[in-house]
């Protein structure tokens, strides 16, 4: 059967697509250029990596270490699930990301424990409760602890 659709309709459809897609692409470009002007010297993950990397010499390459931060360990994931605060989880993930293949467990109950207190110290008594004694302070809120199990 002969195709009776006039070409002008197809041309109109093509022009509509061209106009809207190029508008979307250029809109994204403008946003990107604005972002470029405000780009920080380093992104947050790189900054965090550089901070955490200081620990590497003091830790084993393999095995596992514990982790404590400003809030209690179970709140790290709970805050993210409740859309309240992703910062604590991001710090924990970035620590694991930097130190892989060493496994960083979200618990203070291991012989070696990393303290990551970028957002302030933990609640009073928290470290004592788990018998965490500092081995070395790396600055910028980064402390390595040994768990002392003596009563």
Contacting residues toward other proteins, per CB under 8 A: 3, 5, 7, 9-14, 16-18, 20-29, 31-33, 35-36, 39, 43, 45-46, 62, 64, 77, 81, 83, 90, 93-94, 96-97, 100-101, 103, 105
CB 70 within 8 A of CB 87: no
Three-class DSSP category at 81? helix
CB of 28 to other proteins, least distance (A): 5
CB of 116 to other proteins, least distance (A): 16
CB 64 within 8 A of CB 105: yes
Q: Which is nearer to other proteins, 24 or 58 (CB)?
A: 24
Q: Which is nearer to other proteins, 84 or 148 (CB)?
A: 84
CB of 71 to other proteins, least distance (A): 16
Q: Where are the beta strands (DSSP E) in the chain?
A: 64-69, 103-104, 112-116, 132-139, 142-147
Q: Checking DSSP bridges between strand 103-104 and strand 64-69, what pairing results, if any?
A: parallel
Q: Which is nearer to other proteins, 46 or 121 (CB)?
A: 46
Q: Checking DSSP bridges between strand 103-104 and strand 112-116, what pairing results, if any?
A: unpaired
CB of 137 to other proteins, least distance (A): 26
């Amino acid at each position: 059967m002969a195709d009776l659709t006039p070409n002008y309709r197809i041309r109109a459809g093509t022009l509509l697509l061209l106009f809207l897609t190029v508008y979307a692409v250029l809109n994204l470009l403008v946003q990107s250029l604005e972002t470029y002007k405000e780009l920080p010297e380093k992104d947050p993950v790189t900054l965090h990596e550089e901070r955490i990397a200081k620990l590497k010499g003091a830790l084993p390459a393999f095995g596992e270490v514990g982790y404590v931060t400003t809030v209690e360990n179970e709140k790290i994931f709970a805050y993210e699930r409740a859309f309240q605060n992703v910062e604590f989880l991001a710090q924990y993930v970035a620590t694991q990301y930097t130190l892989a293949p060493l496994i960083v467990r979200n618990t203070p109950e291991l012989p070696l424990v990393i303290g990551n207190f970028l957002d302030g110290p933990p609640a009073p008594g928290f470290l004592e409760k788990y018998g965490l004694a500092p081995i070395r302070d790396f600055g910028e809120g980064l402390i390595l602890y040994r768990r002392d199990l003596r009563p």
